[in-house]
Structure 1
Amino acid sequence: MNELTDLTELRDLFADKPHPTADRLAPARTALLAEARTQRRLRARAAGLRRLMLAGGLVAAMTGGVIAVQTFNASAPASAAEVLRLAAEAATETPWPEPRDDQYLHYERIAESRAEKGISNVGGPRHVTGEVWASVDGSRPDLWWHKPSKSNPRGPEYKELLTRCPERGARRPAYADLREWPTDQEQLRRKLAEHGNEVVPNKDTVTRTWNGVVNILGSPVPPKQQAAIFKIAATLPGIETEELKDATGKSGIAVTRVDNRGPGGAISRESLIFDKTSYVLLGGQELVPGQGRELWSITRPQITDVLPAWSTSVKRRGCL
C-alpha cells in the first residue's frame, strides 16, 4: 500500500467538502465502533472467539488540527487500545487450565534473533525452541528442554533444571504468585511499574509500566490478571498497531510502543503480537537499531502432575 498516494487521493476526493470537526466526527466513530462491538458479540455466540471488525468504512479523528484516517478491514481494529481491549476479552473467554499449586504448566516458548538492515544481534542470528515445565507455585525446579531449531537441526540441544533464586533480581513471578496479583487498575499499575523498574531501572513511569507488562506476559498469566494487564496497556501513550510475524512465522496484529531507549537514544520498537481473529497473545518482538530484531512466541499451557521420567537424569544448572 502506498500511503502517500492513498492520502493524496483522499484529499482530492474531499477537497470541496466542509472541513471535518470533532463534533461531526465523534458520532460517526462512536456508531461505527458500537456496531462493530455488536457484531463481535453476535459472532462470539455463534463461533466462539471469531471476531471480525466491519470491512470498509473510515474513521477520522481530529487531533490538534490534523486528521488521522484509518481503514477498517477484517484484521484491523480501530486502534491499538481497541486491540488490547479485545485481547482482554479473549483472555477471560478462552478456555484456560486451573492448575493446583503442586502441578506444572507445560508449554512451548520459541525465541529468535534476526539481523536488521545487515546488523546482527550480539552472538549472531539464532533460533531456540524451548519446551518448559514450570512449577505452578515455584517450590520445585522448572524443567527446560532446549531443542535444535528447524533452521538448524544440528544445533545444540540441552536440558536443565532451574531453581528460583531471589538473588537473581528481576524475574517473572511464579504462576501462583501472579494469581494473587490485584486486578484493581491502580494497584496493578503500581505493581507492573515496580516490576518494570527491576527489568530496566530509572525509566519514566510509562516506560516502567510497559516493561512490566511485556516481561510478565512472557510466561503464562492467569486470565483475570492477563485481562487486567491488557486494559492497563491500552491506556499507555505511544502505542500503535502494525502487522508483524511472531517467532513461528505466523502473521498477527501487533501493538507496538515506540521508545528512545536504544543505544544513544535510538528509537526502539517493542511489540505484543496477537492472533488476527481471536486476539489471543501469540508473542512479541523488540526492534532496536544497531542491535537487530528479537522475536518470541509462547503456546497456551497444559497441566501435568509430574515431570517426564527422563528428567531424573537432568542435573540442576542454575537459577531462573
Structure 2
Amino acid sequence: MNDRTELTELRDLFADKPYPTADRLAPARAALLAEARTKRRLRLRAAGLRRLVPAAGLAAAMAAGVIVVQTVNSSAPANAAEVLRLAAEAATAAPWPQPRDDQYLHYERIAVARSEKGVRNVVPRHNTGEVWQSVDGSRTGLHWHKPAKTVPRGGEYKQLLVRCPERGVRRLTYADLREWPVDRQQLRRKLAERGNEMLPGKDTATQIWYGVRSVLGSPVPPAQQAAIFEIAATLPGIEMEELKDATGKPGIAVTRVDDLGPGGTVSRESLIFDKASYVLLGGQDFVPGQGREVWSVSRPQVTDALPAWSKSVTRKACA
C-alpha cells in the first residue's frame, strides 16, 4: 500500500463525520479539563493504573468530534467543603453563554412543595416555568407558568415581567452579577449584605449563606459562581448528604442548618449538585415536621427576542 492510498483511506474514514468546529469540540475540551482537575483526587490502585489513550488515537477521536476518557473510579468527596470546591471548578470548566445586555437568558425553573404531617400553611404544588430574563433588566421579560403535572393547583398562565419600582430586597439582574467582584473578601461582603437584607440581625456566616442561596436561584456568571462556591466552602456548619432535585434526579447536596427561632424550629437549606459533574442542579428548603420545597434551574440559553406568541400576552401594571 502506498502513501497516496493510505491518505485516500484516511479521508474516506472521516468523510461522514462532522467538521470539528469549536462548538463541537467544546464538550471534549471540557471533559479533558475536568479530568485534569480530578486527577489529583484519584486513588490509584496497584493493580489498575489509568490507561491513557495513545496520542494517535486521541487525535483521530478529536478529528471525529468524539472522545472517550478512561479513568479509574475516583473517590467520593470527603466532606461538604470538597463538594463546593469541585462545584467551583465545574462552574468554569464547561462552556457558558456570554450574553449582551440587550439579550435574554432563557431557562426553565421547576419548584415542588409538599407539607409534612398535614401542616396547612405549606401549600402542595408542582410548578414548571419557562423564563425569559432580560440580561440588564431594561427590557420586558416573560414567564410561562405551565400546567401542574402532579398537583393540579392553579392553571397555566403567561405573564410579562414588567420592571416595577423596587420594594424590599432588590432583584439582581445578570448584568448586576457580572459586575460583582471575584475577590473573596469583597464578595463575602456583598453576599453578607444581600443576606442581611433578607434576614437582618443574623450572624455573618448565616447572612453569607442566605446571600449565596438568594443569588444562585437564577443564572450567575461562571467566574462569580465559582467564587461564591469557594466562599460557601469556608462557612461553618455545612454538611454533605444525598438529595433529589425537583426533577427527581439524585444528586449530592451541601446543607446548612439554621435555627429559625423559639421552640427549637430549624430549617435545612441545601444546594444540590450533579454527582458526576458537580454542576449546580438546584436546591431544597426543608423545615422538619412542616414541609419542604425543592427547586431546579436549567442551564440558560441566549436569545435576542421574546417568542412571537408573547405579543398576545396582556401586560400587567405594577402592583
TM-score class, shorter: 0.7 to 0.9
Q: Give the counterpart letter for 2:41 in structure 1.
A: A
Normalised TM-score (structure 2) = 0.76
Aligned 8 A contact 1:113 1:121 in 2: no
Note the 1:20-31 alignment, pairs <5 A.
none
Q: 2:245·2:251 contact (CA, 8 Å) conserved in 1?
A: yes
Aligned to 2:254: 255
In structure 2, the residue matched to 1:97 is 97
* Distance across 2 between alignment mates of 1:221 and 1:51: 32
Shift of 1:84: 0.2
Tell me what 2:128 maps to.
129
For 1:272 and 1:247, the matched residues in 2 are separated by 12
Distance 1:185 1:315, change over 3 A: same
- Given that 2:122 and 2:291 are in contact with CA atoms closer than 8 Å, whether structure 1 keeps it comes out as no
Compared CA separation, residues 47 and 78, structure 1 to 2 (3 A) = farther
Mind listing any 5+ residue stretches in structure 1 that lack a counterpart?
1-32, 55-75
Counterparts in 2 of 1:96 and 1:266: CA distance versus 1, 3 Å: same
**Could you say if the C-alpha distance between residues 296 and 228 of structure 1 is closer, same or farther in structure 2, counting changes exceeding 3 Å?**
same
Report the counterpart of residue 290 of structure 2 in structure 1.
291
Could you give the per-residue CA deviations for residues 119-162 of structure 1, whole angstroms, max 9, x where no partner exists? 44625210100100000011012200000122146851001112
User: Quick one: structure 1 residues 85 and 317, their matched pair in 2 at CA, closer, same or farther if it must change by over 3 Å?
Assistant: same
SS at match of 2:77: coil
- Asked if 1:178 is matched to 2:177, the reply is yes
Match of 2:162 in 1: 163
> How far 1:263 sits from its partner (Å)?
6.3
Distance 1:120 1:315 in 2: 36
Q: Deviations over 1:218-242 (max 9, x none)?
A: 0000000000000000000000000
Give the direction of change, closer, same or farther, for the CA distance of 1:303–1:266 in structure 2 (3 Å limit): same
* Cα 1:38/1:162, change in 2 over 3 Å: farther
Aligned residues: 263
Match of 2:275 in 1: 276
- Which has the higher Rg, Structure 1 or Structure 2? 2
| Structural mapping, 1:1-320, within 5 Å | 35-36=40-41, 53-54=74-75, 76-116=76-116, 118-120=117-119, 122=121, 124-152=123-151, 155-261=154-260, 264-317=263-316
**Contact 1:260-1:268 within 8 A present in 2 as well:** yes
Identity between Structure 1 and Structure 2 (%): 69
Distance 1:297 1:166 in 2: 28
Instruction: Please give the secondary structure, in 2, of the residue aligned with 1:225.
Output: helix
Q: Distance in 2 between matches of 1:291 and 1:81?
A: 28
Structure 2 equivalent of residue 30 of structure 1: none
Cα RMSD between the aligned structures? 2.7
Output one character per residue of 1:57-113: Cα deviation in whole Å (capped at 9) or x when no partner. xxxxxxxxxxxxxxxxxxx31110000000000000011111011000000000110
SS in 2 for 1:192: helix
Distance (Å, rounded) in 2 between the aligned partners of 1:111 and 1:83 = 23
| Offset from partner CA, 1:239-264 (integer Å, 9 cap, x none) | 00000011111110000001112663
Scaled by the length of structure 1, the TM-score of the pair is 0.76
